[in-house]
Structure 1
């Protein structure tokens, strides 16, 4: 059986790739390291964004595991133009997975790249892997396995958030395990 811990990063100062964790976010990262320290993790893969790496750094140091970064785990780009009604536009992309805004990627395109990472983990030797990413792309992965996962579920994610995905004999189950 493969276990994958899907983690949304801790509280951050903003959205740019270089945005750091807040003071609260740094404390959350320590809590996260204690929460996951006894799970016998053998691999950590993270978005290259600073907030994702900082979220898992305390655990990686504790377990002496190198954090591998993967560009496919970056946050989904809704648009490269400033959308004043971005919130409503994001909502529509949960219903229309092909909808795409200027310079952005559709939900389907973003979902495809994170599913690729997951499939590689399924096919690897690792038994227990952590994947650290961002809220919207994580939501799309959860939607891939449960089509009922929608916009309101995305809104209800926390920073951090942790889901345990188990793959046993090609049967995938997902459970939210963070009670933050």
Structure 2
């Protein structure tokens, strides 16, 4: 029996320094509506999300459509790059992708973030076996999770993700058997 997890990278957001409360932008709300439309055809049974507002707002239309609540899961929150703003984001993010064990002061290494995300994925696979689950999440943690199962999902994959983006991961038990991009611009 297969379980399908639809990893949904959040739509465009309006920048605020408060990661948890950063909302979608006007453009983000429009594309979040498209996410809801696309997922209507996927027979979603459960909606889980990062506790960050922009991720919740991206998948809440799907939860409303199936008349369910969004279940919050800390493991799907975005990776913390550093404890304070970095001087050069591109250089800082490249460094953590090049060395999975490296962490900037106050931040998470790819290894640590990946372990957190994979624990959340495995929990969802156990809890909702045989179902279709939409997961609202973020680009970096999404790519890091996918990288655990298949190394082709790397830094370049992350850089190419759109906002929003949707990847359907099909699992047989806890083994990834297929990945399909669902998002269409």
**Paired positions, count:** 180
Distance 1:70 1:165 in 2: 18
Distance 2:117 2:150 in 1: 15
Q: Which runs of 5+ in 2 are unaligned?
A: none
Distance 1:170 1:18, change over 3 A: closer
- Return 166-175 or 100-109, whichever deviates more: 166-175
Distance apart, 1:62 and its partner CA: 1.4
| 2:182 counterpart residue number | 177
Residue-by-residue CA offset, 1:78-128 (whole Å, 9 max, x unaligned): 101221122112112112100111000100000011101111122124411
Match of 2:132 among 100, 115, 128: 128
Q: Which runs of 5+ in 1 are unaligned?
A: none
1:95-134 correspondence runs (5 A)? 95-126=98-129, 127-134=131-138
Residue-by-residue CA offset, 1:16-49 (whole Å, 9 max, x unaligned): 2211111111011111111011222111110111
TM-score normalised over the length of structure 1: 0.94
DSSP-derived class of the 1:117 partner: helix
On the 8 A contact 2:11/2:31 being kept in 1, the answer is yes
1:26-175 correspondence runs (5 A)? 26-126=29-129, 127-168=131-172, 170-172=174-176, 173-175=178-180
DSSP-derived class of the 2:183 partner: coil
Q: Post-superposition, which runs of at least 4 consecutive aligned residues in structure 1 deviate over 6 A?
A: none
TM-score normalised over the length of structure 2: 0.92
Distance apart, 1:140 and its partner CA: 0.3
| 2:9 counterpart residue number | 8
Distance apart, 1:10 and its partner CA: 0.6
DSSP-derived class of the 1:123 partner: helix
Distance 1:169 1:57 in 2: 27
Distance apart, 1:169 and its partner CA: 5.1
